[in-house]
Amino acid sequence: MSERKFTEDHEWILVEGDTGTVGISDYAQEQLGDVVFVELPAEGSSIDKGAQAATVESVKAASEIYAPVSGEVIAANGDLADDPAKVNSDPLGDGWFFKIKIADPGQLDALMDEASYKSYVEGLH
């Protein structure tokens, strides 16, 4: 069973077994505006929870994407190099950034489920 969890920095991770697919929330892409460039982590690199994993640039600003958990990057979404607008059009699907082999599944416990994240975002307004 897959489960999507969220961070307070508006990243999401979709967990399937010991692999997580990471992207940014719909709220985050709305705040960024039109995404024009995405810098992704290198496959095979290790990332610590909370460390900068990727960078996204929009017409408004550049923003860091942080790793929601520690692990090894096993895939990067190369489609974003040619079509960074996928982050805007499908942030929870084709606009994913990278896949990570989760080193410590216990780190997922600190993340929010979808309902908690929705409440968190509503509290930001």
- Please check the confidence at residue 1 and state whether its pLDDT lies above 60: no
Instruction: Please count the other Cβ atoms lying within 10 Å of the Cβ belonging to residue 50.
Output: 14
The whole model's pTM is what?
0.96
CB 64 within 8 A of CB 11: no
Element (H or E) spanning 80, and its range? helix 79-82
The domain limits of the chain are 3-103
Q: What is the pLDDT of residues 51-106, one digit of tens each?
A: 999 999 999 889 999 999 999 999 999 999 999 999 999 999 999 999 999 999 99
pLDDT tens track for 13-42? 999 999 999 999 999 999 999 999 999 999
CATH fold of 3-103 reads OB fold (Dihydrolipoamide Acetyltransferase, E2P) (2.40.50)
